Structure 1
Amino acid sequence: MSFIQHLKDKRFFLILYVILLLFVSLIMIVNDDWQLASQNLLYTHIFCFFFASLYVIIGYYYRRSFYFKLKDLIDSKQEDFPVAMPEPQSYEQALYIQLIQKVHANHAEQLQKLVLEKRDHQDFIMSWIHEVKLPIAASHLLMENSEGKTTDFLVDKLEDELTKIDNYVEQALYYSRIDSFSKDYFITDVSLQNMVKNSVKKNAKYFINKRIRFHMDEGEHFVQSDSKWLAFIFNQIITNALKYINEGGDISVVMEEDCKEKRLIIHDTGIGIKQEDLYRVFERGFTGTNGRTHTKSTGMGLYLAKQLALKLGHDISIQSQEDMYTKVIIHFPKMRNHYYFN
């Protein structure tokens, strides 16, 4: 910092100094004879100017070390500059340094969060690519080994593989749109019966091929939600159940209600979930023991279902016993508003 800049910073002090001297000079002229007043004025101005100059010069040399260190720190482009900040020489400087350190800490935290999200996104993309390559490779094998097979057989098998690809693409699409959810939802009264039937119809071939028995409560039930996003949530749960259920198993859907909430319960007689994995099934990218041993999995289905449910004002819980059952519950609280935030 130059001395001229220091004077500019002290401009209000200098203005006050000039005003006070003018006031003192005026008082001396009014109350004394001119000859005596002129001498007093000369001495007063000399001494006041001397002490004011001394104050400004000493202040400049006292402050310059701090500002020079700060300027050197700026020019050095040091990444951990908040740690290397010079010692403050006043309370005001200390507050500014604390503010800079706080802003830098918040920025570092946000940056770390973005890095982790980017890493998770890359992991999902890599896993998704490996997943989607499987039905594509299976389709190529079917076409290469089509000799001796009927057209109906080939069409049926290719349709299965295309359905898998469609499900993976839909999952990737919803994953990419989860951050812009607030721009794309509309709350209405949604018929759970119609939603469940549409999902079962969509996965009919899986039910038939694995001879899965399906049961659903009779009667009409409505909840306030977004029909498109809720259908995706339910379909992820049904797809997950079909993936880990043995042939000849059962899937049932039951609706419950009390004074606090409505509950949609999806119960399957599948392989269940290990207790040590149960509390982590909604984590992003977590596949658990079942995902590693029974089938390949991206670990995104239940994560997406949970996140979208929370954004809609719902919730999802899960209960399971290994080799016995899995019960997924979608909770619809009755008393809530529809002003959701990301």
Structure 2
Amino acid sequence: MKATVTTMRYLWAYLRQRKWIFLLFILFGVILCTVYRLYHLEWGPAFYTLIVMLAIGVPVCLIDCYYYCKRIKQVELLKKQAVLHIGELPRPSGVLEQNYQEIIRLLESRCQDTERAARESRERANSYYTLWNHQIKTPISAIRLLAESGGLNRQNVEQELLKIEQYVSMGLEYQRLDQPNDLSFQSHDLEHLVKQVLKKIAPLFIYKNISLRLGNLHAVVLTDEKWLCFILEQVLTNAVKYTAAGSVSLSLDPQAPNTLCIEDTGIGIRPEDLPRVFDWGYTGYNGRLDKRSTGIGLALCRQAAQLLGHRIEITSTPGIGTLVKLDLSRDPLEVE
């Protein structure tokens, strides 16, 4: 019964698809009969002509109907199986159908690209939050141990709280990077922004006894305050993290007044690691020494810099130090 209903549905679809051909065939028959009637001709040849037309037309229509129904079945089967990959489409019966199939292929490719990007984003987010959960437990455990041992002091607590704040901030900024709808470009005093960040991470410098050197920072930059401060905080935190003794210096590049230079005297970065320091999740040799390194901070910095229209680059010499250059220039924008 189901097969009969399906067959009738296919036949009805075929009749609707080819209705103009059938109407044209009937019109030709009517014209033929009309001509014979007007000229008072014998009806025998007219009937023979109609029979010949039917003898040729009916088989052709049956064959055409067969292949039409076959294409419908194939397309319906593909529709059931298609999630992201459509599969092999039926051979197009004309240029129009061929164009439709090309459009379908283009849409399929776009859907696959979107799904691939979404899957990579989910995998990256899962990886990030797994590491994030692991990282944030460390300072919390440290504070708990200090409390249990009675060794609480302001300096130690401030350092661990700063780590927690940074991890929470990284989690929030990671979420916002995918949908940056809160950008606010304004002209800012660079020296004020730098000192604002330094005040926040001062406990790191104090705890490791790292000296700070500030050069010329007098510049007005067009940027988003929150995102630029996030970049500065990440870069400065890394500078202190990988500097056992010495100093961290900040100044504008004399050759490029809109470029901020952040230089440390830390352990440096190996040449083979340098090209990949901005890759997502890449920790390199230094990161493997520090078991808590995730290789996410600099990746977020580059993504945020691109969002702001800035450029960030790193040069380093192992055992001597690292230089981070943040080019804050960008195309002029209208600012209210």
TM-score higher than 0.5: yes
Q: Which residue does the alignment assign to 2:250?
A: 253
Task: Evaluate the alpha carbon distance shift between residue 286 and residue 43 of structure 1 in structure 2; reply closer, same or farther with a 3 A threshold.
Answer: same
The answer to whether the aligner puts 1:116 opposite 2:120 as a matched pair is yes
3-state secondary structure, aligned to 1:266: strand
What is the CA-CA distance between 1:110 and the residue it aligns to?
A: 2.6
Q: Which residue does the alignment assign to 1:142?
A: 146
Task: Evaluate the alpha carbon distance shift between residue 160 and residue 331 of structure 1 in structure 2; reply closer, same or farther with a 3 A threshold.
Answer: same
3-state secondary structure, aligned to 2:212: strand
Identity of paired residues, percent?
Answer: 29
Please tell me whether the aligned partners of residues 73 and 81 of structure 1 are also in contact (alpha carbons under 8 angstroms): no
Letter in 2 for 1:255: L
Letter in 2 for 1:141: L
The equivalent position to 2:60 in structure 1, one of 51, 55, 58, is 55
Structure 2's unaligned 5+ residue stretches are: 1-6
Please tell me whether the aligned partners of residues 262 and 334 of structure 1 are also in contact (alpha carbons under 8 angstroms): no
Letter in 2 for 1:302: L
Counterparts of 2:327 and 2:36, CA distance in 1 = 86
Please tell me whether the aligned partners of residues 128 and 168 of structure 1 are also in contact (alpha carbons under 8 angstroms): yes
TM-score w.r.t. length of structure 1? 0.84
The equivalent position to 2:271 in structure 1, one of 275, 280, 290, is 275
3-state secondary structure, aligned to 1:242: helix
Report the RMSD for the aligned CA atoms in angstroms: 2.9
CA deviation profile, 1:253-291 (whole Å, cap 9, x unmatched): 1213768x7211111111110111101111111111111
Q: Which residue does the alignment assign to 1:12?
A: 20
Task: Evaluate the alpha carbon distance shift between residue 223 and residue 23 of structure 1 in structure 2; reply closer, same or farther with a 3 A threshold.
Answer: farther
Counterparts of 1:39 and 1:26, CA distance in 2 = 14
Letter in 2 for 1:275: P
Letter in 2 for 1:160: Q
3-state secondary structure, aligned to 1:214: strand
Please tell me whether the aligned partners of residues 221 and 329 of structure 2 are also in contact (alpha carbons under 8 angstroms): no
The 5 A counterparts of 1:287-306 are 287-294=283-290, 296-306=292-302
3-state secondary structure, aligned to 2:144: helix
Counterparts of 1:302 and 1:64, CA distance in 2 = 58
Letter in 2 for 1:66: R
Counterparts of 1:21 and 1:154, CA distance in 2 = 105
Counterparts of 1:41 and 1:333, CA distance in 2 = 87
Please tell me whether the aligned partners of residues 319 and 327 of structure 1 are also in contact (alpha carbons under 8 angstroms): yes
Please tell me whether the aligned partners of residues 310 and 328 of structure 2 are also in contact (alpha carbons under 8 angstroms): yes
What is the CA-CA distance between 1:90 and the residue it aligns to?
A: 5.0
Q: Which residue does the alignment assign to 1:70?
A: 75
Report the number of matched residues.
327
- After TM superposition, the structure 1 stretch with the greater mean CA deviation from structure 2, 77-86 or 60-69, is 77-86
Counterparts of 1:40 and 1:15, CA distance in 2 = 22
Task: Evaluate the alpha carbon distance shift between residue 233 and residue 20 of structure 1 in structure 2; reply closer, same or farther with a 3 A threshold.
Answer: farther
- After TM superposition, the structure 1 stretch with the greater mean CA deviation from structure 2, 198-207 or 301-310, is 198-207
Q: Which residue does the alignment assign to 1:207?
A: 205
Please tell me whether the aligned partners of residues 84 and 112 of structure 2 are also in contact (alpha carbons under 8 angstroms): no
Counterparts of 1:328 and 1:27, CA distance in 2 = 93
Please tell me whether the aligned partners of residues 216 and 252 of structure 2 are also in contact (alpha carbons under 8 angstroms): no
CA deviation profile, 1:217-256 (whole Å, cap 9, x unmatched): 3462111111111111111111111111112x11111213
CA deviation profile, 1:58-116 (whole Å, cap 9, x unmatched): 211233333333334445x3768644545555555555444444433433333232222
Structure 1's unaligned 5+ residue stretches are: none
Letter in 2 for 1:130: H
Please tell me whether the aligned partners of residues 245 and 271 of structure 1 are also in contact (alpha carbons under 8 angstroms): yes
